[in-house]
């Protein structure tokens, strides 16, 4: 959430920034600021009333002790009135706080200055494109056809066991999947990220704190009996490790990486964009997460983008880097860079990573702070990125590396697979 003090002091600038998303948030911000005034006024009234009540209680005690009971009755009556009034103040305050929180949750993260205004993905900026395609190759097969041909991915079996969007990886396909996970984790840990293994289910507070709820509630699988959510990304449990924690400045930056399966309902998805590995309900992904001081977060964002690009480069596949426009930006993100691999058979780009900075938007909900050298507590800045999402990397490898004799394995993965070709 946008911190209230920042919102009060920078209303005009925030409204202008949010216009990049294509929506006028001024009415919502006005409601938030009005509720904030009500909250502070009610809090002041309650504090004043409580102070008077405490003074009366002390005075009543003193008078009883001295034996002077002439005013005790009237003082008790007044104190009784104050205590009843305090209950009303407290109830009003809780209702105002509830409404204030609900309204604040409707305000997305203001985009950074470098983020351009735009309606959708068509307006995203192409920062870099590296396209190396062998145009002399015969007509290429899609990854779903190749998966069937070499018996490495079984989509029909996944439907039998569960439903569409839950593929079964077999033989060398399963081993390639595992090789990618291990390769990505090794690249991340070699870069200084500490590996963690985290739960794949989270409670409401965890999902709310990173901004998945209420914004993406319709996209999340929910276990009603346990009141738990299946994670849509490792970002949620990893970032929540530090929920409610105040760190010492010397502890920053904190850099973590973890592998998890991810679960997304992907409601509303249909057509060719969901075929094969393009869009799944369950998929594997390796994530990187950083907690940073506010003056280091932009530098950290650049480092993360560079790190992910190094990994993609090693795979030797056609790729490009995009900076998302305001209209395509996620609700919690202040700036996002997408990495896409080219699908040779489908003749389209497939997103395989999003690297984002949330600045203090997440930490405001999470309650993650750090204490500076002068003792001042500040919100940390949070960042995360996919390094990388597995299915579309698999799809791009299978399609781009196909030959008449089989699917060649990228050189960097051979130590992890133990084989050079799938045939």
Looking up residue 73, the CATH number of its domain turns out to be 1.10.287
Regarding whether 134 and 39 lie in a shared domain, the answer is no
- Token pair, residue 45, equals 């009234």
Structural domain contains residue 115: no
- Report the sign of the C-alpha dihedral through residues 105, 107, 112, 115, in that order: positive
- Whose tokens are 């209303």? That residue is 11
Regarding whether 24 and 141 lie in a shared domain, the answer is no
Strands 421-422 and 377-379: unpaired
DSSP state of 285: E
Structural domain contains residue 116: no
Regarding whether 194 and 147 lie in a shared domain, the answer is yes
Structural domain contains residue 296: yes
What span, in angstroms and rounded, lies between the C-alpha atoms of 349 and 273? Answer: 11
Q: Which long-range contacts (CB under 8 A, 24 or more apart) does 35-44 make?
A: 35/96, 35/99, 35/100, 35/103, 36/4, 36/7, 36/8, 36/100, 38/96, 39/93, 39/96, 39/97, 39/100, 42/89, 42/92, 42/93, 42/96, 43/93
Structural domain contains residue 113: no
Closest CA to 232 of 331, 148, 305, 327: 331
| pTM score of the predicted model | 0.92
Regarding whether 98 and 127 lie in a shared domain, the answer is no
Domain boundary among the residues 73, 104, 135 is at: 104
Regarding whether 356 and 210 lie in a shared domain, the answer is yes
Regarding whether 100 and 226 lie in a shared domain, the answer is no
Could you tell me the strand order of the sheet in which 254-263 lies? 125-130, 319-323, 335-343, 348-359, 381-389, 282-292, 254-263, 194-195
CB proximity list for 4: less than 8 A, separation 6 or greater: 32, 36, 104
Regarding whether 360 and 228 lie in a shared domain, the answer is yes
Domain total in the chain: 2
Which residues share a beta bridge with 126? Answer: 322
Regarding whether 134 and 98 lie in a shared domain, the answer is no
Domain boundary among the residues 70, 104, 138 is at: 104
What span, in angstroms and rounded, lies between the C-alpha atoms of 202 and 210? Answer: 11
Per-residue pLDDT of the chain (423 residues; tens, 9 = 90+): 999 999 999 999 999 999 999 999 999 999 999 999 999 999 999 999 999 998 888 888 888 877 777 788 888 888 899 999 999 999 999 999 999 999 999 999 999 999 999 999 999 999 999 987 665 566 899 999 999 999 999 999 999 999 999 999 999 999 999 999 999 999 999 999 999 999 999 999 999 999 999 888 889 999 999 999 999 999 999 999 999 999 999 999 999 999 999 999 975 555 556 789 999 999 999 999 999 999 999 999 999 999 999 999 999 999 999 999 999 999 999 999 999 999 989 999 999 999 999 999 999 999 999 999 899 999 999 999 999 999 999 999 999 999 999 999 999 999 999 999 999
Range of the domain at 69: 4-104
CATH number for the domain harbouring residue 194 = 3.30.930.10
- Token pair, residue 212, equals 């998945």
């Amino acid at each position: 959430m946008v911190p209230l003090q920042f919102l009060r002091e920078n209303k005009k600038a925030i409204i202008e920034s949010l216009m990049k998303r294509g929506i006028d948030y001024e009415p919502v911000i006005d409601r938030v600021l009005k509720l904030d005034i009500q909250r502070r006024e009610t809090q002041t009234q309650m504090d004043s009333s409580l102070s008077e009540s405490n003074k009366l209680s002390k005075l009543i005690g003193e008078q009883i002790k001295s034996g002077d009971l002439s005013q005790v009755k009237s003082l008790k009556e007044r104190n009784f009135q104050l205590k009843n009034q305090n209950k009303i103040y407290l109830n009003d305050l809780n209702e105002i706080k509830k409404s204030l929180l609900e309204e604040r949750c409707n305000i997305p993260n203001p985009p950074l200055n470098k983020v351009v205004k735009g309606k959708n993905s068509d307006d995203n900026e192409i920062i870099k494109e590296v396209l190396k395609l062998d145009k002399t190759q015969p007509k290429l097969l899609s990854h779903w056809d190749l998966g069937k041909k070499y018996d490495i991915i079984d989509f029909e079996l996944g439907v039998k066991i569960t439903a569409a969007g839950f593929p079964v990886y077999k033989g060398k396909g399963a081993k390639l999947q595992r090789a990618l996970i291990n390769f990505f984790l090794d690249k991340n840990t070699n870069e200084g990220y500490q590996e963690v293994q985290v739960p794949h289910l989270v409670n409401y507070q965890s999902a709310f704190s990173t901004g998945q709820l209420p914004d993406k509630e319709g996209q999340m699988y929910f276990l009603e009996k346990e009141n738990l959510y299946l994670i849509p990304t490792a970002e949620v449990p990893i970032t929540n490790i530090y929920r409610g924690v105040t760190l010492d400045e010397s502890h920053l930056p904190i850099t973590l990486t973890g592998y998890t399966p991810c679960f997304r309902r992907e409601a509303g998805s249909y057509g060719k964009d969901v075929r094969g590995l393009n869009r799944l309900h369950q998929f594997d992904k390796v994530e990187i997460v950083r907690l940073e001081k506010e003056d280091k977060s932009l530098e950290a964002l650049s480092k993360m983008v560079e790190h992910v690009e190094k990994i993609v480069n090693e795979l030797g596949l056609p790729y490009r880097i995009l900076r998302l426009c305001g209209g395509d930006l996620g609700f919690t993100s202040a700036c996002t860079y997408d990495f896409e691999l080219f699908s040779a058979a489908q003749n389209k780009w497939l997103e395989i990573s999003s690297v984002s900075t949330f600045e203090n938007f997440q930490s405001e909900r999470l309650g993650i702070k750090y204490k500076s050298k002068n003792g001042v507590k500040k919100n940390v800045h949070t960042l995360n990125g996919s390094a990388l999402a597995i299915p579309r990397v698999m799809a791009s490898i299978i399609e781009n590396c196909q030959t008449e004799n089989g699917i060649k394995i990228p050189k960097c993965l051979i130590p992890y697979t133990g084989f050079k070709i799938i045939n």
